[in-house]
Structure 1
Amino acid sequence: MSALTVEKVWKEYGDQIVLEDVSITVEPRAFVALVGASGSGKTTFLRLLLGQETPTRGKILLDGVPLPPEPGPDRGVVYQRYSVFPHLTVLGNVLLGMEMSGSRHAARLFGKRRAAAVAEAREMLAQVGLDHVEQKYPAQLSGGMQQRLALAQALVMKPRVLLLDEPFGALDPGIRAEIHALMRRLWHEHPMTVVMVTHDMAEAFTLATRVVAFERRRDRPEEKLRYGASITRDIPIWPPRRAGLPSLIRPGRDGPALAIPQSE
């Protein structure tokens, strides 16, 4: 399970109110796109879900349990700026999380445990189409390949919730379309809930199961300190998209292809 429950959350920095009375329930395996103008609190909300920030008021629950006060392996994150380590190879980047969680003091695995981790990392690289460049360094990869690597880094830790902060905004349109197709496939294949911040409305409606808009209802200069942003729209996508299930309308695009019986 990976249900998120946000109950009457406020976030304030001193006298500045950023988020005001935000409540939302995100069902397991949903793909939620957060949209809104710059400064409407989308990234702050994502940081609250990650655990980088704590609510001033209200609470956030994952499967009914309060979120820990710091980031953990149950929540993966991918940023617009590729969060990869330039001194490590592609394989080393994907291995690092498993080594650090499996051996916190040495940050390195040995013997059978390392062999199993290497096999798992290579399987993940194959899923994102990078198995042929595992010994290259990030500087030798294109932008699209680096973003695939960042996705592999996050997904190899098997997060229950994957958080995406404008992850495809810096990519060229053609590469972005390829990454969108990859993201759809990974969402269908991995048991996770996805929450993505984007300024691209077409991207939001292409990928998400619902689109949630953040907005400051009171945005005059003299009101910006006293009032924060809240959710003003929550739009379910039609026809519904469900992880692991084909779409009856566009089975090849919005979900796994429908199995067609072969005539004998």
Structure 2
Amino acid sequence: MTRVTVENVWKVYDDQTVLENVHLEIEPGSFIALVGPSGCGKSTFLRMMLGDEAPSRGRILLDGVELDAEPSPDRGVVFQKYSVFPHLTALQNVMLGLEFAASPVMARLFGKAKRKAKTEALDMLNCVGLGHAVHKYPSELSGGMQQRLAIAQALIKKPKILLLDEPFGALDPGIRAEVHEILLRLWRDEGMTVFMVTHDLSEAFKLGTRVIAFDRVRTRPEEMKVYGATVTFDLKVDGKSVPPRPELREELAAAAQ
């Protein structure tokens, strides 16, 4: 399990401040739901967690060690748009992470190593309910199945942190609920720390152990470039689908618009 510490993090692009003065202490094994209006830095924060971008100021620590400045296998990511390879079968998509890790140049395994990777990939596909579709290509899978495949692809390397950027937005309600249950089971089984960006407040409180809202507190035109968004609400969820103080639900819902 991984503890995440965010110390006075700012993110500035040229003369535009996107995030300012973000402080967070995340317990190992937490499921963090990030909410807030569009453009308030949620996805930017996720990219910094991934290592795809670096803070302009401050630092992010994993178990007391500063975050690597580039993506690494200890962080998996799932996007809203299915991040799978269309020319590979479901099994090949999931095996690919293991092949790249063991053979960075050729991305190919042979003999015992290949059999081991295949077994691990089959186990993961079974975990996400795709054991019957291992030889199908993404174009032959439904949207919900493709997103389950993307989750399997992200988890095959056993990341300490899973990053989800609106991963269920394109799914219809029935399929979304099914994928929610799969994700929650895998989160509990693997003991990961999860960060999920969502615009769906009910989803945030259903899945998250903690709901964190980003928003701008300074909104006058002359302030918009100098100041960015920061943490405006930070609520621990007690296992119910609503926040502990009902009046905050209205404020969070307004912030998420």
- 1:221, 1:118 → 2: CA distance? 56
Question: 2:203 is matched with which residue?
Answer: 203
- Residue 239 of structure 1 deviates from its aligned partner by 4.0
Q: Deviations over 1:51-75 (max 9, x none)?
A: 0000000000001111111000000
**Pairing 1:99–2:72 present:** no
- Structure 1 residue identity aligned to 2:56: T
Q: Is the 8 A contact 1:213 1:232 kept in 2?
A: yes
**Pairing 1:40–2:44 present:** no
Question: 2:31 is matched with which residue?
Answer: 31
- Structure 2 residue identity aligned to 1:220: R
In the TM superposition, structure 1's runs of 4+ consecutive aligned residues that sit over 3 Å from their partners are none
The equivalences for 1:1-264 within 5 A come to 1-239=1-239
Alpha-carbon distance change, 6 to 240 in structure 1, aligned in 2, over 3 angstroms: farther
Secondary structure of 2:25's counterpart equals strand
- Structure 1 residue identity aligned to 2:228: G
- Structure 2 residue identity aligned to 1:53: E
Stretch moving more, 142-151 or 211-220: 211-220
- Residue 199 of structure 1 deviates from its aligned partner by 0.3
- Structure 2 residue identity aligned to 1:198: T
- 1:200, 1:220 → 2: CA distance? 27
- RMSD over aligned CA atoms reads 1.1
- 1:20, 1:239 → 2: CA distance? 30
Q: Paired residues, what number?
A: 241
Q: Which runs of 5+ in 1 are unaligned?
A: 242-264
- Residue 236 of structure 1 deviates from its aligned partner by 0.4
- 1:128, 1:76 → 2: CA distance? 16
Alpha-carbon distance change, 141 to 207 in structure 1, aligned in 2, over 3 angstroms: same
- 2:177, 2:115 → 1: CA distance? 34
Q: Is the 8 A contact 1:209 1:240 kept in 2?
A: no
- Structure 1 residue identity aligned to 2:170: A
Q: Deviations over 1:96-131 (max 9, x none)?
A: 010001111211111100100000000000000001
Q: Is the 8 A contact 2:82 2:150 kept in 1?
A: yes
- Structure 2 residue identity aligned to 1:46: L
Q: Is the 8 A contact 2:89 2:136 kept in 1?
A: yes
Stretch moving more, 131-140 or 212-221: 212-221
Could you tell me the TM-score, scaled by structure 1's length? 0.90
- Residue 238 of structure 1 deviates from its aligned partner by 1.4
